[in-house]
Chain A
């Protein structure tokens, strides 16, 4: 419903019941605020957003009200410009500033500070207070977030964000009156994997990015471009910033259909691998004395020579490389000789997931839809570790119930504290079944911890409880039956249920079970959605492209069919156990590897080519939602580093593949790959290179970018022309279009008077909602409307722990399990040390204590690890950390044996 609002005498139409602050900001007014945040809504604490309200036309006195706490009603008359209201707002800033250190020049927030912006906006310019400022002690909060409490203006945003949105417990407000203190009880790393958002949530320089501090540059000195996170399959949108050829930080890029206002710490802080000493900077040729740099041309002609001479070549692509890179490799070696570099089990899992999404009539939700869902079932996937922002979205899903309860009391969803007060302990029904405890367990209505097969059986039982036509689950316990009935009842009642699962448990049956629950709800006519987490940032893209697994590649090699193997951005030693990887690589005459970091695979390469990271190249990733998203180079690749596809193209052309010559730019390549079935939408992911806004390119450097003429002076005193960007409508320059580009091209948020990230307000149609022109990215997978929801035929038998027989499952860690971010010092610091997890009961039975060395044998792979006792882990299960440095690669789940090194076989 629309209401007419009179603001300073002019009439405007706004959404009735919306709070006045949001309404005024959406209309484009500059009204200052602190405690309000579009994702956290109103609490009325700071009193900064005051306006004057008048009863009617005749009322000339009016009264001061807080716009964030007042709903817009029909015919309401307010004034922003009223002198008393202006004086009040200036007075609030003046009071806030009494204790503020005013240390902008040495404050990391300076130049992108909401407090600076609001201070200027209110016109507070001189200090009257002659008081001694109160001071605080700062805390060490770990590798990610810096703490400088003296700058606090006590807006309470940090604690509200951390506790209410992110579910953290270890940040709180202490003390009283003007000594309120926002911190932890004791120094120590923040426990939440969403802590980095404090940096953006805090409107001052209290919480700032500690990694940025290590190589600091002001916002106005950072070259930035729209990008996509490469650290999990969700594809959160980011804005990395660069200076002097080094990535300095990552900020959030708002995409209301994906990450909204937030990122996880893996995504925000994982970037430092780009600056790592492990970067390959030159083509390397392995000789007797080890690898030595060779010129690019020599590398290209050498590899081309291998191909040209009729050598039998095989390509292994990668689920962490872009569509473009994978496609170029496939084009080079031929579709039949192209393999995605994943083990067979992973291929089967990802293709199962994709089949469920493509063939059923069930939609996969974007993260906004998960946030807005009103019931959830998470089957088998520890999303808090494999897809953190999905876990974050589920926390918001839990809130939906409170919002609904509050609505019955006439309380608006933005009235944050009132919603929580009336909602009390109400939360949306959320059921979580995983092998091990997760950091989302606190929002669960009910929890199950079981072996993957048991979880799958629970899922199938839920499907059966929903739909009598679903297959019967044999040998189901009464307890499982009643659990299934409870879950089914809650999901049936929900208006917008979502089923979440993924490849993390390593079990196709779990995926099928999740699909079955969704199918059953769908058959009941429910508006259900199915969200499936995949292993890596482009797993979906790789699967859409198609191609066999490493098993296929290995069998070709075994047949002696391969002379030259080309591996794209893929460390096979993370995918296969060392013996299998050795066997594969030893079976080929020539090995060429393209990657950005040195690793065990590049170490074996006859030729290793240095390729560009996500921040040095343009490309497309397909998220688990099936959303194709384009990332753009933040800075040009230096020296001999270049995009994988450009290396491959050069090799191809040198080997006589003349059709590759047509790929002058990324767009040309995308044009070709868009011909592939299922990939036609990729073109649409972002405007192409020809796009111009008002005839101009989009500048990557802010209009206040400094040092342009001096930066290269150590090399030449002449200012070089800016590097040309042939691939995209963005420019490595400060010149160009200063207005709002389409969402996929937004390099930063800035607007006159709004230097902080809150300039985003000016990019959104309605503040807090979609940016003008719609969200970035394009969904490649939409369900067939008429496809019948089908059930899988096979239901696994119950899991029975047997004496001496163990089931080893993978335990994922937000810090440590993912390959690239693990090379970031802060992430490495927070990653666990290698361990083997076992339940307290099993530990006791085996006489194993915490930290005792145990020997794990899975097949022929044997390794010794310290024991970690994990309460809640089901008996008979062993948990092995996934992807962690120092833990041998084994395909999981798998049967295994364990031996206490000190005490003999249990």
Chain B
């Protein structure tokens, strides 16, 4: 099984130095691209590889990079931004990639930037990731020192300024358009599309935002070719995926596996199954903002097309598992409190709907629920359905709630009927 993203990493998880990275073949992809490939050729290769964005939506990366308008003299600088804000509950895959192999992130960023003919690159990092900040800062400095970044990258004539930006720390700072606003020093409210960031992004100029894991794939695609990349996958989406599992499993963790590995395999083989005495009850397959799947869906292939067919989303591919000794109402309440707190406050359904939902869940969980409450929750889920709010935060936020209302309905009703949480 090929593990391009993690195979170089040291067993202790400490960051690879520049020398170690180069010795393992690092920066060869950048050399290859700058030496023998046009930016368009890089984009084409990524397109052919079927790499899909790892930030959660699974948008084909080559297509996205290809939407960048042709470079001209006027609309400059052009920007390439790596989204390392990773604040999705239950998701820590980007952190592992950054802490363990920062140069891979830097090389990925450089390749992305070259592909879209950017002049300036940013790595937008979650505020709490202090170690990642440390190692990335160092890696960027080393890359400058070695001529991989700066005024004349590897003597090719291409100039790229790369810097690390530390987020002020909000979930919304990870949302593409909120991120761009935050990077400009504004409130992290999202922006409407169109215009898409490729046309008018950072400071109104052409901009690409790609996830950290996404860009880490780029060096391997360029070095080994799109065909190889497709070949290491078990699905039509290319490559490998960092899957993760948290919850009461025997071995919570992260594993790089072929794209399309079935959920059951991740859960049972890699996470070691449920802890003794606990049974699997449900799973948020791709982070907190995805719908619950029940036991009947354990055989779903974890890729961007298969999970939706089962009624959820692939999201970040890091699953949160619910066992039979944990209160689903309490779990959902916990999540909705998070989302309500993280709403940016721009649009009504999310700003006023999420805190209301969280408070209704509080009431149910604390034994103050009333029969009409489940209708209120269902109405709020509809109010925040995709397309109804200004950005996707709200739609994601209600995914665990709306699915829990279906999957665990009797639990909610019991809370209301008995006026208490049976798990407490």
Q: Which A positions have Cβ atoms within 8 angstroms of B?
A: 43-48, 50, 63-65, 69, 87-88, 91-92, 95-96, 98-99, 128-132, 153-154, 156, 173, 175-180, 409, 411, 415, 417-418, 421-424
Residues of B within 8 A of A178 (CB): 340, 343, 345, 351-352, 355
User: B310: CB under 8 A from chain A?
Assistant: no
Contact B352–A422 (Cβ < 8 Å)? no
Residues of B within 8 A of A409 (CB): 195, 199-200
CB proximity of A78 to chain B, nearest CB, Å: 15
Residues of B within 8 A of A411 (CB): 194-195
Q: Which residue among A48, A96, A177, A179 has the maximum number of chain B CB atoms within 10 Å of its CB?
A: A177
User: B122: CB under 8 A from chain A?
Assistant: no
Q: Which B positions have Cβ atoms within 8 angstroms of A?
A: 170, 187, 191-192, 194-195, 199-200, 203-204, 340-349, 351-356, 359-360, 363, 370, 372, 376, 379-380, 382-383, 385, 387-390
- Extra A-B contacts (5), CB below 8 Å, given A91-B382, A95-B356, A423-B204: A154-B351, A177-B355, A178-B355, A409-B195, A422-B204
Contact A47–B344 (Cβ < 8 Å)? no
Contact of A88 among B192, B340, B376, B383 (CB under 8 A): B383
Separation of A69 and B347 alpha carbons in the complex (Å): 13
Contact of B345 among A69, A131, A154, A421 (CB under 8 A): A154
Contact A92–B192 (Cβ < 8 Å)? no
Contact A177–B341 (Cβ < 8 Å)? yes
Given the contacts A418-B195, A421-B195, A177 and B388 also touching, CB distance less than 8 Å: no
Q: Which residue among A50, A65, A95 has the maximum number of chain B CB atoms within 10 Å of its CB?
A: A95
Residues of A within 8 A of B385 (CB): 64
Separation of A435 and B29 alpha carbons in the complex (Å): 62
Contact of B356 among A43, A44, A129, A421 (CB under 8 A): A129
Separation of A62 and B343 alpha carbons in the complex (Å): 27
Residues of A within 8 A of B352 (CB): 95-96, 98-99, 154, 178
Contact B351–A424 (Cβ < 8 Å)? no
Contact B192–A44 (Cβ < 8 Å)? yes
14 contacts between A and B (CB under 8 A): A44-B192, A45-B346, A64-B388, A87-B382, A91-B383, A95-B348, A96-B352, A130-B359, A176-B170, A176-B343, A176-B344, A177-B355, A178-B352, A179-B345
Given the contacts A98-B352, A177-B351, A178-B355, A418 and B345 also touching, CB distance less than 8 Å: no
Separation of A173 and B346 alpha carbons in the complex (Å): 11
CB proximity of B335 to chain A, nearest CB, Å: 15
Contact A63–B383 (Cβ < 8 Å)? no
Residues of B within 8 A of A131 (CB): 355-356, 359-360
CB proximity of A65 to chain B, nearest CB, Å: 8
Contact of B390 among A45, A92, A415 (CB under 8 A): A45
Separation of A88 and B387 alpha carbons in the complex (Å): 12
Contact A417–B349 (Cβ < 8 Å)? no
CB proximity of A248 to chain B, nearest CB, Å: 33
Given the contacts A128-B376, A411-B195, A421 and B200 also touching, CB distance less than 8 Å: yes
* The 5 A-B residue pairs with the shortest CB-CB distance in the complex, in nearest-first order: A95-B352, A180-B345, A424-B204, A177-B343, A91-B383
Contact B342–A95 (Cβ < 8 Å)? no
Contact B342–A47 (Cβ < 8 Å)? no
Residues of B within 8 A of A132 (CB): 359
Separation of A130 and B203 alpha carbons in the complex (Å): 43
Given the contacts A131-B359, A177-B344, A91 and B349 also touching, CB distance less than 8 Å: yes
Contact B341–A92 (Cβ < 8 Å)? no
Separation of A627 and B200 alpha carbons in the complex (Å): 43
**In the complex, residue of chain B having the shortest beta-carbon distance to the beta carbon of A42:** B192
**In the complex, residue of chain B having the shortest beta-carbon distance to the beta carbon of A415:** B192
Separation of A43 and B190 alpha carbons in the complex (Å): 11
Residues of B within 8 A of A48 (CB): 348
Residues of B within 8 A of A88 (CB): 382-383, 388
Contact of B387 among A64, A98, A130 (CB under 8 A): A64
Contact A421–B191 (Cβ < 8 Å)? yes
CB proximity of A32 to chain B, nearest CB, Å: 12
Separation of A180 and B380 alpha carbons in the complex (Å): 20
Residues of B within 8 A of A64 (CB): 385, 387-388
Given the contacts A180-B351, A409-B195, A91 and B200 also touching, CB distance less than 8 Å: no
Contact A175–B345 (Cβ < 8 Å)? yes
Separation of A776 and B70 alpha carbons in the complex (Å): 51
Contact of A173 among B187, B340, B348, B356 (CB under 8 A): B187
Contact B187–A422 (Cβ < 8 Å)? no
**In the complex, residue of chain B having the shortest beta-carbon distance to the beta carbon of A180:** B345
**In the complex, residue of chain B having the shortest beta-carbon distance to the beta carbon of A99:** B352
**In the complex, residue of chain B having the shortest beta-carbon distance to the beta carbon of A177:** B343
Separation of A489 and B363 alpha carbons in the complex (Å): 68
Residues of A within 8 A of B351 (CB): 95, 154, 177-178, 180
Separation of A153 and B349 alpha carbons in the complex (Å): 12
Given the contacts A47-B389, A92-B348, A95-B349, A177 and B340 also touching, CB distance less than 8 Å: yes
Contact B349–A92 (Cβ < 8 Å)? yes
Residues of A within 8 A of B345 (CB): 154, 175-180
Contact of A47 among B199, B340, B349 (CB under 8 A): B349
Given the contacts A128-B376, A177-B340, A179-B345, A95 and B387 also touching, CB distance less than 8 Å: no
**In the complex, residue of chain B having the shortest beta-carbon distance to the beta carbon of A134:** B355
